[in-house]
Amino acid sequence: MQLYRGKIKHLKSNQIFVFGSNTQGRHGKGSALFAKQKCGAIYGQSKGMQGRSYAIITKDLTKSTHPSISKEYILDQIKEFYNFASNAQFDFIVAYSGSDVNLNGYSNQDMADMFSEYPVPKNIIFEVTFYNLMKDNLTWI
């Protein structure tokens, strides 16, 4: 198991940056902006692998209240992401923190609960504070 501290500022050659996206794929703030500027995220592409990044839709910009994406839909995408990651030869750095504010309206604990819902491939790397929120419910594969 690997963990990281703080914000990601650069990637190693074998790493993919995993971030929360919106349904429009605007990538204009937070980790999505970093993904667009530094990791090849494609403006207008809301989901999946893009350059050296992987997007999970967690927000709908057309809705005025947040959370605007259901937990069920986010869980489906996390399951899809884990399946993708388990067959890849990269390490995936999940951008969620256990202390920052999420732009999607979910709490850090909500996001940690979602990411720990399914067995996690060993090539997924979490931020240490986020990991501490999920470690009691986490199963590695």
- Going by pLDDT thresholds of 50, 70 and 90, the confidence category of residue 85 is very high
Domain boundaries, the chain: 3-19+60-137
Model pLDDT, residue 101: 81
Buried b (16+ CB within 10 A) or exposed e, 65-85: eebbbeeeebeebbeebbeeb
- The answer to whether 71 and 102 have CB atoms below 8 angstroms apart is no
- Going by pLDDT thresholds of 50, 70 and 90, the confidence category of residue 88 is confident
Model pLDDT, residue 98: 80
State the pTM of this model. 0.94
